[in-house]
Amino acid sequence: MSSNVLALYRKFERMPAGRWLFSRAVCLKAPYFASISPRFVALEPGRCEATLRHRRRVTNHLGTVHAIALCNLAELTAGVMTDATIPPSMRWIPKGMTVEYLKKATGTMHGIATPDIPVVEAASSYDLPVSVVVNNDAGEAVFRARIAMWVSPRK
pLDDT at 1: 38
pLDDT-derived band of residue 2, with 50, 70 and 90 as boundaries? very low
The tens digit of pLDDT for each residue in 34-75 reads: 999 999 999 999 999 999 999 999 999 999 999 999 999 999
With a cut of 60, say whether residue 134 has pLDDT above it: yes
> Over the chain, what is the mean pLDDT?
95
**Integer angstrom CA distances of residue 117 from 82, 129, 131, 149:** 12, 7, 10, 11
Could you tell me which of 85, 104, 103, 105 has the C-alpha nearest to residue 151? 85
The tens digit of pLDDT for each residue in 106-127 reads: 999 999 999 999 999 999 999 9
pLDDT-derived band of residue 155, with 50, 70 and 90 as boundaries? confident
Task: State pTM to two decimals.
Answer: 0.94
